[in-house]
Amino acid sequence: MSTLSSFLPTRFTWPWVALVVAAVLFIALVVLAYVTYRAKNRPTSEETADGTATVYDLERDFQTDTASRRMRTYRRLGRIATGSLAVSLCAGAVLIARPSTINPQPSSTASRDIILCLDVSGSALAYDRQIIAAYSQLAQNLQGERIGMSIFNSTSKTVFPLTDDSSVITNQLNYAYTLLSRVQTQESIDKMTDQEYQEVNDWLAGTQNVENSTSLIGDGLVSCTMMLPQLESRDAQNSRSASIILATDNVPSGKQTFTLNEALDIARNAKINVDALYVGTDQTSSSEAAVDMRESITSHGGTYVDLNANDTVEDIVRDITSTKSGPQLHDETSNLIDAPGLILLVLALSFLAFILTAGRMRR
């Protein structure tokens, strides 16, 4: 089907160019016709030195059968050559206008928006470096998706908005991985220089703006939801699927505006899927907070992954990507492609006819 579409044009990319070339060809033909007319009406005699006139009469000269037959053949070949050349010039003008057609093709990449939603409270910060590693590997395995990242404690901060620029995503995640390696243990914190401490503090700035409150998970999830256009736009819901990958220990401290379940309800109503990574120690994996988190996530259609139940980052990524982070939408796209095939064939055949006819005329 695509081969046939590329052979048969349905429109012109630059139609005005064909009009300009056609105008030039028309003027050239008018000039040629005028010159031919003048040549045919030139005097058929000239005066010699002694005053007598020499008369040229081609009709009389071609009265013989052989000459007459050759003359008719010559004129017929001339008309064929002229017609072939005219067709070639017209085909060339059409090619300059770029004949094209619309070629519908199914989209080969997923249409998804993914928000990486990371808890950076004191109880989760020591585990966030491993989460960032999982995020990085997840981003490397995705194609066609837009990815954004938000971190939260008592308040939220956008690290980078939705983007499909892989270099931005990679650089931001690598930078976060480097910073978080400094806060894994008390020993690594003690070894930080003043500059390194300031860099970590700058990265976390804006996440602790509510006094006496930390790790407000429901509020943080709502903030991540607000980064997605699907929350406000039904068109966005229909054109792209949306996912949030939430990493937290589900231990809030302070008054939340939204509970985790309320935040999950908001996401579900906007057709946003939420998968979760539980961070914490082996002893907290079976805690009430972990059990509540698993039940809340799975009851809203998401996947729950316990960080402690996976030996490597690859295991974490496999568990997340096995769900495809929510449904994928594949749309049919239409591409405007050049379709010169038929015009090129006409140009080649007409020009070949001109060359053969002109060669015959010379003989």
3-class DSSP assignment, residue 112 = strand
* Residue 126 burial (CB count, 10 A): 18
pLDDT (0 to 100) of residue 2: 47
Do residues 195 and 343 both lie within one domain?
no
Q: Which stretches in the chain have pLDDT values below 50?
A: 1-2, 6, 48, 107-108, 324-327, 329
Do residues 348 and 231 both lie within one domain?
no
Rounded to the nearest 10°, the torsion over CA 69, 72, 73, 78 is: 160
Phi, psi at 120, each rounded to 5°: -115, 25
Distances (CA, A) of 168 to 24, 89, 189, 310: 51, 51, 27, 28
pLDDT (0 to 100) of residue 17: 66
Do residues 243 and 148 both lie within one domain?
yes
Which residue, among 277, 211, 288, 222, has the nearest Cα to 251 in the 3D structure?
Answer: 288
Q: For residue range 41-76, what is the model confidence (pLDDT) as tens digits?
A: 655 555 545 555 555 555 555 556 666 677 777 777
d(CA 310, CA 74): 89
- Residues 137, 317 contacting (CB under 8 angstroms): yes
125 is a domain residue: yes
Do residues 318 and 352 both lie within one domain?
no
45 is a domain residue: no
Host domain of residue 358: 15-37+62-103+337-362
pLDDT (0 to 100) of residue 88: 78
Which residue, among 361, 350, 344, has the nearest Cα to 85 in the 3D structure?
Answer: 350
Sequence-separated (6 or more) residues with CB below 8 Å from residue 245: 114, 115, 116, 117, 135, 138, 275, 276, 277, 320, 325
Sequence-separated (6 or more) residues with CB below 8 Å from residue 250: 217, 260, 278, 289, 290, 292, 293
310 is a domain residue: yes
pLDDT (0 to 100) of residue 175: 94
d(CA 362, CA 217): 90
| Strand stretches in 230-347, DSSP E | 241-248, 272-278, 304-306, 332-338
9 is a domain residue: no
329 is a domain residue: no
pTM (whole model) above 0.85: no
Longest dimension (CA), the chain: 131
* Residue 59 burial (CB count, 10 A): 9
6 is a domain residue: no
